[in-house]
Amino acid sequence: MTNTRFQRHPTPQEAFVRTHTGKLVLFLIFLLSLLVGAEAKTTVKKESFGKTKDGAAVELYTLTDGQFEARIITYGGTVISLKAPDRKGHYDDVVLGFDSIAGYEGDDPYFGALIGRYGNRIAKGKFTLDGKTYTLATNNGPNSLHGGKRGFDKRIWAAKEIPNGVELKYVSKDGEEGYPGTLTAIVRYTLVKDSLKIDYSATTDKDTVLNLTNHSYFNLAGQGNGDILSHEMKLNAAHFTPVDDTLIPTGKIQSVAGTPFDFRAATAIGKRINDNDEQLKFGKGYDHNWVLDGAAHAERLAAEVYEAKSGRVMQVWTDQPGIQFYTGNFLDGSIKGKAGKAYPLRSAFCLETQHFPDSPNHKNFPSTELKPKQVFHSSTTYKFLTR
């Protein structure tokens, strides 16, 4: 028999709380799930972006999550627009580009494009792989640059919508631009909350070399709104790869300490860009590869840029071993971009996550070789904040 001597019946108020607390908790969990789902939802819209000179149709994919918007075309897998709010909630397009496909087919310095088969430079357009020497197109003085005369930036990529973004695919045939092996490249752009993420993957049927990147030109004050010399840059890199007068790495890995290349503490881009330094003279400013701190293949913070007037901050996270910092040294105002805005000298910067330039010709650099049955994969994220 149960002893009820010390049992106390609950008051009506206590009984109500006990009865409804569980229901209230479940209701709050339901509301939270709705909020989280709404925050993560990105809409993807597909439309036409016209046709190339050869009559090929170009598609435009617009990704938006209510706070950020990215627009990507199938010609070159190009990011043609990226809108981000400033500290007051005002939106600007922070990448350079054109309003029509004609601009990208014209005198285009790789604005926003996917770069391949080999991003950056290969000396004299030659490299040796498996005992065989391959000859590439030379399109940058004596060197091959960004995949040759018709690299991945000038190709139409097949596209399909995926959750929060778009997937692009391009098959580069054996011998295209001089590179060995049929290479299948897949790139996924996804926009979630405050970040545009780029996932690269590739396979090949023959030994080849590969260096994929994106060549967006950023101005955190807004495209066409002045130069980027007052932007504050921080690079988590204690070393860089010095170059010769054709911008080919010498093979050395040099400390940034005591040089204009030390951005380990946030420093205005323009503070030392005109210093009497041989490397800066070679590049007409910054156009060099930094050796990122930390283990490659692990995504870590590579760079952070701050623009004081807008309060915009852009972080670059990557698992790549290097990053090319370029300060628009060859822009001269002759190019008219979106809304007819001119792009003068140093009106944008690039942060191209990558393996090192000319790696196939430097055994001490991280290897860029890809073999059959291997799958190349890399991720880079551009994250936007304000302060």
Residues designated as active site: 215, 352
Strands 158-162 and 165-172: antiparallel
- Whether 198 and 188 have beta carbons less than 8 Å apart is answered as yes
CA dihedral 60, 111, 342, 226 (to 10 degrees): 110
- The tokens describing 183, both together, are 């290479």
Query: How far is residue 371's CA from residue 204's CA, in Å, rounded to a whole number?
Result: 6
- Whether 235 and 266 have beta carbons less than 8 Å apart is answered as no
- Whether 182 and 172 have beta carbons less than 8 Å apart is answered as yes
Query: How far is residue 143's CA from residue 129's CA, in Å, rounded to a whole number?
Result: 18
Q: How many CB atoms lie within 10 A of CB 126?
A: 16
Residue among 316, 317, 302, 319 nearest 366 (CA): 319
- Whether 214 and 80 have beta carbons less than 8 Å apart is answered as no
**CA distances (Å), origin 317, targets 5, 173, 185, 233, 380:** 66, 31, 21, 14, 6
Question: Residues with Cβ < 8 Å from 272, sequence gap 6 or more?
Answer: 260, 280
